[in-house]
Protein backbone atom coordinates (compact mmCIF):
# COMPACT_ATOMS: atom_id res chain seq x y z
CA UNK A 1 0.00 0.00 0.00
CA UNK A 2 1.35 3.48 -0.90
CA UNK A 3 1.83 6.33 1.56
CA UNK A 4 -1.10 8.14 0.01
CA UNK A 5 -3.38 5.12 0.42
CA UNK A 6 -2.32 4.74 4.05
CA UNK A 7 -3.02 8.42 4.69
CA UNK A 8 -6.47 8.09 3.14
CA UNK A 9 -7.37 5.09 5.28
CA UNK A 10 -6.25 6.84 8.48
CA UNK A 11 -7.55 10.33 7.61
CA UNK A 12 -9.98 11.69 10.26
CA UNK A 13 -13.60 12.03 9.18
CA UNK A 14 -14.32 15.58 7.91
CA UNK A 15 -10.68 16.31 7.02
CA UNK A 16 -10.21 18.21 3.80
CA UNK A 17 -8.86 16.21 0.85
CA UNK A 18 -5.49 17.59 -0.36
CA UNK A 19 -5.07 18.76 -3.94
CA UNK A 20 -4.03 15.88 -6.14
CA UNK A 21 -2.45 15.47 -9.53
CA UNK A 22 -3.99 13.11 -12.10
CA UNK A 23 -1.78 10.27 -10.89
CA UNK A 24 -2.66 11.13 -7.33
CA UNK A 25 -6.36 11.06 -8.13
CA UNK A 26 -6.01 7.56 -9.55
CA UNK A 27 -4.20 6.48 -6.40
CA UNK A 28 -6.95 7.99 -4.27
CA UNK A 29 -9.64 6.13 -6.25
CA UNK A 30 -7.69 2.92 -5.79
CA UNK A 31 -7.44 3.51 -2.06
CA UNK A 32 -11.17 4.23 -1.81
CA UNK A 33 -11.95 0.97 -3.58
CA UNK A 34 -9.68 -0.94 -1.21
CA UNK A 35 -11.35 0.68 1.80
CA UNK A 36 -14.81 -0.29 0.50
CA UNK A 37 -13.63 -3.86 0.03
CA UNK A 38 -12.30 -3.98 3.57
CA UNK A 39 -15.53 -2.66 5.05
CA UNK A 40 -17.85 -4.95 3.03
CA UNK A 41 -18.54 -8.36 4.56
CA UNK A 42 -20.60 -10.63 2.28
CA UNK A 43 -23.16 -13.05 3.74
CA UNK A 44 -21.76 -16.40 4.81
CA UNK A 45 -23.07 -18.61 2.02
CA UNK A 46 -22.49 -22.29 2.67
CA UNK A 47 -21.77 -24.59 -0.25
CA UNK A 48 -23.08 -28.17 -0.31
CA UNK A 49 -21.19 -30.16 2.29
CA UNK A 50 -20.01 -27.09 4.25
CA UNK A 51 -20.47 -26.94 8.00
CA UNK A 52 -23.51 -24.88 9.08
CA UNK A 53 -24.03 -25.96 12.69
CA UNK A 54 -23.55 -28.64 15.35
CA UNK A 55 -25.28 -31.62 16.89
CA UNK A 56 -26.12 -30.57 20.47
CA UNK A 57 -27.59 -33.80 21.87
CA UNK A 58 -27.93 -37.27 20.38
CA UNK A 59 -29.82 -40.20 21.92
CA UNK A 60 -29.18 -43.59 20.27
CA UNK A 61 -28.55 -43.68 16.52
CA UNK A 62 -28.87 -40.58 14.34
CA UNK A 63 -27.32 -40.76 10.85
CA UNK A 64 -26.18 -37.88 8.62
CA UNK A 65 -25.97 -38.62 4.89
CA UNK A 66 -24.30 -36.29 2.41
CA UNK A 67 -23.63 -37.42 -1.16
CA UNK A 68 -23.98 -41.09 -0.10
CA UNK A 69 -21.39 -40.69 2.63
CA UNK A 70 -23.10 -41.72 5.85
CA UNK A 71 -21.86 -41.07 9.37
CA UNK A 72 -23.35 -41.66 12.80
CA UNK A 73 -23.70 -38.36 14.64
CA UNK A 74 -22.50 -37.71 18.17
CA UNK A 75 -22.92 -34.60 20.31
CA UNK A 76 -20.47 -31.93 19.12
CA UNK A 77 -20.26 -33.17 15.53
CA UNK A 78 -20.68 -30.73 12.64
CA UNK A 79 -23.82 -30.77 10.51
CA UNK A 80 -23.55 -29.72 6.88
CA UNK A 81 -25.56 -28.08 4.15
CA UNK A 82 -27.53 -30.54 2.01
CA UNK A 83 -27.18 -33.33 4.59
CA UNK A 84 -30.09 -35.67 5.22
CA UNK A 85 -30.50 -36.27 8.97
CA UNK A 86 -32.25 -39.58 9.72
CA UNK A 87 -33.31 -40.52 13.28
CA UNK A 88 -33.88 -44.16 14.26
CA UNK A 89 -37.24 -45.19 15.67
CA UNK A 90 -35.81 -45.30 19.22
CA UNK A 91 -33.61 -42.21 18.88
CA UNK A 92 -33.74 -38.44 19.15
CA UNK A 93 -31.52 -35.59 17.98
CA UNK A 94 -31.01 -31.89 18.63
CA UNK A 95 -29.20 -29.48 16.28
CA UNK A 96 -28.12 -25.84 16.51
CA UNK A 97 -27.30 -23.86 13.39
CA UNK A 98 -24.82 -20.99 13.25
CA UNK A 99 -27.57 -18.35 13.42
CA UNK A 100 -28.79 -19.91 16.74
CA UNK A 101 -31.70 -21.74 15.09
CA UNK A 102 -32.52 -24.84 17.13
CA UNK A 103 -34.10 -28.05 15.87
CA UNK A 104 -35.28 -31.07 17.84
CA UNK A 105 -35.92 -34.29 15.89
CA UNK A 106 -38.22 -36.95 17.32
CA UNK A 107 -38.07 -40.76 16.84
CA UNK A 108 -38.13 -41.86 13.20
CA UNK A 109 -37.90 -38.33 11.84
CA UNK A 110 -35.97 -37.10 8.82
CA UNK A 111 -35.00 -33.66 7.54
CA UNK A 112 -32.75 -32.01 4.97
CA UNK A 113 -30.55 -29.01 5.80
CA UNK A 114 -31.38 -27.41 2.47
CA UNK A 115 -29.85 -23.93 2.39
CA UNK A 116 -27.87 -21.67 4.72
CA UNK A 117 -26.91 -18.11 3.76
CA UNK A 118 -26.49 -15.81 6.75
CA UNK A 119 -25.05 -12.31 7.27
CA UNK A 120 -24.31 -11.99 10.99
CA UNK A 121 -23.96 -8.19 10.77
CA UNK A 122 -27.28 -7.54 9.06
CA UNK A 123 -29.08 -10.56 10.55
CA UNK A 124 -30.19 -11.41 7.00
CA UNK A 125 -29.87 -14.24 4.52
CA UNK A 126 -31.79 -17.35 3.54
CA UNK A 127 -32.23 -20.42 5.75
CA UNK A 128 -34.27 -23.31 4.37
CA UNK A 129 -35.01 -26.61 6.16
CA UNK A 130 -37.02 -29.49 4.66
CA UNK A 131 -39.01 -31.54 7.20
CA UNK A 132 -39.73 -34.87 5.51
CA UNK A 133 -41.32 -37.08 8.18
CA UNK A 134 -41.78 -37.46 11.91
CA UNK A 135 -41.96 -35.04 14.83
CA UNK A 136 -39.99 -31.80 15.19
CA UNK A 137 -39.60 -28.68 17.29
CA UNK A 138 -38.33 -25.55 15.56
CA UNK A 139 -36.96 -22.51 17.42
CA UNK A 140 -35.94 -19.54 15.28
CA UNK A 141 -32.51 -17.99 15.71
CA UNK A 142 -31.35 -14.38 15.60
CA UNK A 143 -31.69 -13.87 11.85
CA UNK A 144 -34.47 -11.70 10.46
CA UNK A 145 -37.72 -13.64 10.50
CA UNK A 146 -38.18 -13.33 6.74
CA UNK A 147 -34.95 -15.34 6.43
CA UNK A 148 -36.56 -18.65 7.39
CA UNK A 149 -38.51 -21.08 5.22
CA UNK A 150 -39.53 -24.42 6.70
CA UNK A 151 -40.77 -26.86 4.08
CA UNK A 152 -43.12 -29.79 4.62
CA UNK A 153 -44.20 -32.24 1.87
CA UNK A 154 -47.19 -30.11 0.77
CA UNK A 155 -46.78 -26.68 2.35
CA UNK A 156 -44.23 -24.10 3.42
CA UNK A 157 -44.02 -22.28 6.74
CA UNK A 158 -42.65 -18.79 7.32
CA UNK A 159 -42.20 -17.31 10.77
CA UNK A 160 -42.57 -14.20 12.90
CA UNK A 161 -40.32 -14.98 15.87
CA UNK A 162 -41.45 -18.41 16.67
CA UNK A 163 -41.41 -21.70 18.53
CA UNK A 164 -43.59 -24.45 17.05
CA UNK A 165 -43.92 -28.24 16.77
CA UNK A 166 -44.62 -30.16 13.55
CA UNK A 167 -45.80 -33.73 13.04
CA UNK A 168 -45.78 -35.28 9.54
CA UNK A 169 -47.97 -38.34 8.91
CA UNK A 170 -47.14 -41.32 6.68
CA UNK A 171 -49.44 -39.91 3.98
CA UNK A 172 -47.54 -36.56 4.14
CA UNK A 173 -50.30 -34.60 5.83
CA UNK A 174 -49.19 -32.37 8.69
CA UNK A 175 -50.17 -31.05 12.11
CA UNK A 176 -48.58 -27.79 13.30
CA UNK A 177 -48.77 -26.68 16.96
CA UNK A 178 -47.80 -23.09 17.83
CA UNK A 179 -46.03 -22.38 21.14
CA UNK A 180 -44.85 -18.80 20.69
CA UNK A 181 -44.94 -16.02 18.09
CA UNK A 182 -46.76 -16.59 14.81
CA UNK A 183 -46.42 -18.57 11.58
CA UNK A 184 -47.75 -18.27 8.04
CA UNK A 185 -48.63 -21.53 6.30
CA UNK A 186 -49.02 -21.72 2.51
CA UNK A 187 -50.27 -24.97 0.96
CA UNK A 188 -50.35 -26.23 -2.59
CA UNK A 189 -54.13 -25.95 -2.89
CA UNK A 190 -55.17 -23.10 -0.64
CA UNK A 191 -54.38 -19.54 0.29
CA UNK A 192 -51.93 -18.70 3.05
CA UNK A 193 -53.21 -18.83 6.65
CA UNK A 194 -51.84 -17.14 9.76
CA UNK A 195 -51.58 -18.95 13.11
CA UNK A 196 -50.84 -16.53 15.96
CA UNK A 197 -52.68 -18.07 18.92
CA UNK A 198 -50.29 -20.20 21.03
CA UNK A 199 -51.81 -23.55 21.93
CA UNK A 200 -53.82 -23.85 18.71
CA UNK A 201 -53.06 -26.04 15.72
CA UNK A 202 -53.34 -26.08 11.93
CA UNK A 203 -53.90 -29.25 9.89
CA UNK A 204 -52.50 -29.53 6.35
CA UNK A 205 -53.97 -32.28 4.16
CA UNK A 206 -51.85 -34.54 2.00
CA UNK A 207 -53.05 -32.58 -1.04
CA UNK A 208 -51.87 -29.28 0.44
CA UNK A 209 -55.09 -27.79 1.79
CA UNK A 210 -54.46 -25.68 4.90
CA UNK A 211 -57.17 -25.74 7.56
CA UNK A 212 -58.18 -22.96 9.91
CA UNK A 213 -56.57 -22.73 13.36
CA UNK A 214 -58.37 -24.98 15.87
CA UNK A 215 -58.01 -26.35 19.39
CA UNK A 216 -56.65 -29.86 19.99
CA UNK A 217 -60.11 -31.14 20.96
CA UNK A 218 -61.43 -30.33 17.48
CA UNK A 219 -58.53 -31.97 15.64
CA UNK A 220 -58.34 -35.48 17.10
CA UNK A 221 -60.33 -38.63 17.76
CA UNK A 222 -59.66 -41.82 19.78
CA UNK A 223 -58.39 -43.72 16.74
CA UNK A 224 -55.71 -41.19 15.85
CA UNK A 225 -52.11 -40.92 17.06
CA UNK A 226 -51.64 -40.12 20.71
CA UNK A 227 -50.68 -36.67 21.86
CA UNK A 228 -47.24 -37.94 22.87
CA UNK A 229 -46.64 -39.49 19.43
CA UNK A 230 -47.48 -36.31 17.58
CA UNK A 231 -45.78 -33.92 20.02
CA UNK A 232 -43.14 -35.75 22.07
CA UNK A 233 -41.39 -32.55 23.18
CA UNK A 234 -44.27 -31.29 25.34
CA UNK A 235 -43.70 -33.61 28.32
CA UNK A 236 -39.99 -34.12 27.59
CA UNK A 237 -38.58 -30.78 26.46
CA UNK A 238 -35.33 -30.94 24.48
CA UNK A 239 -32.12 -29.49 25.89
CA UNK A 240 -32.25 -26.66 23.36
CA UNK A 241 -35.32 -25.27 25.15
CA UNK A 242 -34.68 -24.73 28.86
CA UNK A 243 -38.32 -24.93 29.98
CA UNK A 244 -41.65 -26.06 28.50
CA UNK A 245 -43.20 -23.35 26.38
CA UNK A 246 -46.75 -24.66 26.86
CA UNK A 247 -47.87 -27.38 29.24
CA UNK A 248 -49.78 -30.48 28.23
CA UNK A 249 -52.85 -29.36 30.17
CA UNK A 250 -52.86 -25.93 28.55
CA UNK A 251 -52.95 -27.49 25.08
CA UNK A 252 -55.45 -30.27 25.82
CA UNK A 253 -57.86 -27.91 27.60
CA UNK A 254 -57.48 -24.98 25.23
CA UNK A 255 -60.77 -23.38 24.19
CA UNK A 256 -59.70 -20.19 22.46
CA UNK A 257 -62.17 -18.15 20.39
CA UNK A 258 -61.75 -18.21 16.64
CA UNK A 259 -59.90 -15.16 15.37
CA UNK A 260 -60.63 -13.39 12.06
CA UNK A 261 -58.51 -14.46 9.10
CA UNK A 262 -55.39 -12.35 8.66
CA UNK A 263 -53.40 -11.47 5.57
CA UNK A 264 -50.00 -13.09 5.20
CA UNK A 265 -47.05 -10.75 4.73
CA UNK A 266 -44.33 -13.26 3.84
CA UNK A 267 -46.09 -16.15 2.10
CA UNK A 268 -43.82 -18.63 0.30
CA UNK A 269 -45.70 -21.09 -1.94
CA UNK A 270 -44.12 -24.56 -1.83
CA UNK A 271 -42.00 -25.46 -4.83
CA UNK A 272 -43.01 -28.37 -7.01
CA UNK A 273 -40.66 -31.35 -7.18
CA UNK A 274 -40.01 -33.28 -10.38
CA UNK A 275 -39.96 -36.93 -9.44
CA UNK A 276 -37.28 -39.36 -10.55
CA UNK A 277 -37.12 -43.14 -10.21
CA UNK A 278 -34.42 -44.76 -8.15
CA UNK A 279 -32.60 -47.92 -9.20
CA UNK A 280 -31.10 -49.64 -6.14
CA UNK A 281 -29.36 -52.27 -8.27
CA UNK A 282 -26.87 -49.81 -9.74
CA UNK A 283 -25.88 -48.10 -6.52
CA UNK A 284 -29.01 -46.14 -5.69
CA UNK A 285 -28.51 -43.29 -8.11
CA UNK A 286 -31.36 -41.46 -9.76
CA UNK A 287 -32.44 -42.70 -13.17
CA UNK A 288 -34.72 -41.00 -15.64
CA UNK A 289 -37.95 -42.56 -16.73
CA UNK A 290 -37.78 -43.55 -20.39
CA UNK A 291 -39.13 -40.82 -22.63
CA UNK A 292 -42.17 -41.58 -24.71
CA UNK A 293 -41.42 -42.60 -28.28
CA UNK A 294 -42.43 -40.05 -30.92
CA UNK A 295 -45.83 -40.65 -32.46
CA UNK A 296 -45.67 -42.22 -35.89
CA UNK A 297 -47.13 -40.24 -38.74
CA UNK A 298 -49.59 -42.05 -40.97
CA UNK A 299 -49.57 -41.20 -44.66
CA UNK A 300 -52.22 -42.40 -47.14
CA UNK A 301 -51.25 -42.37 -50.83
CA UNK A 302 -53.82 -42.64 -53.62
CA UNK A 303 -52.64 -43.63 -57.12
CA UNK A 304 -55.74 -42.38 -58.91
CA UNK A 305 -59.20 -41.30 -58.05
CA UNK A 306 -60.93 -44.57 -58.98
CA UNK A 307 -58.35 -46.85 -57.34
CA UNK A 308 -58.83 -48.17 -53.80
CA UNK A 309 -56.53 -46.60 -51.22
CA UNK A 310 -53.34 -48.40 -50.38
CA UNK A 311 -52.61 -49.61 -46.90
CA UNK A 312 -51.35 -46.81 -44.66
CA UNK A 313 -47.60 -46.45 -44.55
CA UNK A 314 -46.15 -45.59 -41.16
CA UNK A 315 -43.18 -43.27 -41.18
CA UNK A 316 -41.49 -42.70 -37.82
CA UNK A 317 -39.20 -39.72 -37.62
CA UNK A 318 -36.49 -39.81 -35.01
CA UNK A 319 -34.41 -36.80 -33.88
CA UNK A 320 -30.92 -36.46 -35.28
CA UNK A 321 -27.91 -35.46 -33.26
CA UNK A 322 -24.18 -35.21 -33.66
CA UNK A 323 -23.49 -38.73 -32.31
CA UNK A 324 -24.95 -40.61 -35.28
CA UNK A 325 -27.65 -40.34 -37.90
CA UNK A 326 -30.63 -41.13 -35.71
CA UNK A 327 -29.72 -40.29 -32.14
CA UNK A 328 -29.61 -42.64 -29.22
CA UNK A 329 -29.53 -40.50 -26.10
CA UNK A 330 -31.67 -38.46 -23.73
CA UNK A 331 -30.67 -34.81 -23.56
CA UNK A 332 -31.59 -31.64 -21.74
CA UNK A 333 -33.42 -33.27 -18.79
CA UNK A 334 -32.97 -32.13 -15.21
CA UNK A 335 -33.71 -34.19 -12.10
CA UNK A 336 -34.84 -32.89 -8.73
CA UNK A 337 -35.22 -35.59 -6.11
CA UNK A 338 -37.73 -35.02 -3.33
CA UNK A 339 -37.48 -36.78 0.00
CA UNK A 340 -40.66 -38.37 1.30
CA UNK A 341 -41.69 -41.20 3.52
CA UNK A 342 -43.50 -41.25 6.79
CA UNK A 343 -43.66 -41.85 10.48
CA UNK A 344 -46.61 -41.44 12.71
CA UNK A 345 -49.50 -42.85 14.64
CA UNK A 346 -52.24 -45.28 13.81
CA UNK A 347 -54.94 -45.05 11.19
CA UNK A 348 -58.62 -44.76 11.94
CA UNK A 349 -61.13 -47.19 10.44
CA UNK A 350 -61.89 -46.59 6.80
CA UNK A 351 -58.37 -45.49 5.94
CA UNK A 352 -58.67 -41.96 7.34
CA UNK A 353 -56.41 -39.95 9.60
CA UNK A 354 -57.98 -37.69 12.20
CA UNK A 355 -58.42 -34.06 11.43
CA UNK A 356 -57.74 -34.57 7.71
CA UNK A 357 -59.68 -35.47 4.60
CA UNK A 358 -58.89 -38.47 2.44
CA UNK A 359 -56.43 -37.92 -0.44
CA UNK A 360 -57.96 -35.88 -3.23
Within a 10 A sphere around the Cβ of 359, how many other Cβ atoms? 11
pLDDT for 107 equals 97
- pLDDT for the residue 253: 92
67-76, 232-241, 268-277: which is most confident: 67-76
**Separation of alpha carbons 87 and 106, rounded Å:** 7
| pLDDT score at 331 | 39
Burial class from Cβ neighbours inside 10 Å (0-12, 13-18, 19+) for residue 232 reads buried
pLDDT digits (tens, 9 = 90+) for 284-293: 333 333 344 4
Query: Which percentage of the chain shows pLDDT scores above 90?
Result: 44
Helical H runs in 138-270?
227-230, 248-252
Rounded CA-CA distance 177/165 in Å is 5
Query: Averaged over 79-91, what is the pLDDT?
Result: 96
Domain ranges of the chain: 3-39, 44-252
For residue 338, pLDDT over 80 is answered with: no
Give the pairing of strands 44-45 and 183-187. Answer: unpaired
How far apart CA 272 and CA 334 sit, in angstroms, is 13
Classify domain 44-252 at the CATH topology level.
Answer: Jelly Rolls (2.60.120)
Helix locations, 83-179, DSSP H: none
| Mean pLDDT score, 157-178 | 93
DSSP 289: P
Give the model confidence (pLDDT) of 251-302 as tens digits: 999 999 998 888 898 888 886 533 333 333 333 333 333 344 455 555 555 5
Entry pTM = 0.65
Work out the mean pLDDT of the chain and round it to a whole number.
74
Radius of gyration from C-alpha coordinates of the chain: 29
Amino acid sequence: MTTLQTDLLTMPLGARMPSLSSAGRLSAISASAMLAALLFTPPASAAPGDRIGDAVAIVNKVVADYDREKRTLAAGDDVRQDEVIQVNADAQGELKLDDETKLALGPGSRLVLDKFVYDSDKKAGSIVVDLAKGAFRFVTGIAAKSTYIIKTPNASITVRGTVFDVFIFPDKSVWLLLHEGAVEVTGRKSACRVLDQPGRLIAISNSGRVGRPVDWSKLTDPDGPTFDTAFPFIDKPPQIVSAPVLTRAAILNSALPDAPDQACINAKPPAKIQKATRDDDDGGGPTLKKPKAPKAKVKTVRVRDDAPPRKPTRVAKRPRNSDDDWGNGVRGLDIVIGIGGGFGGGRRPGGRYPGRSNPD
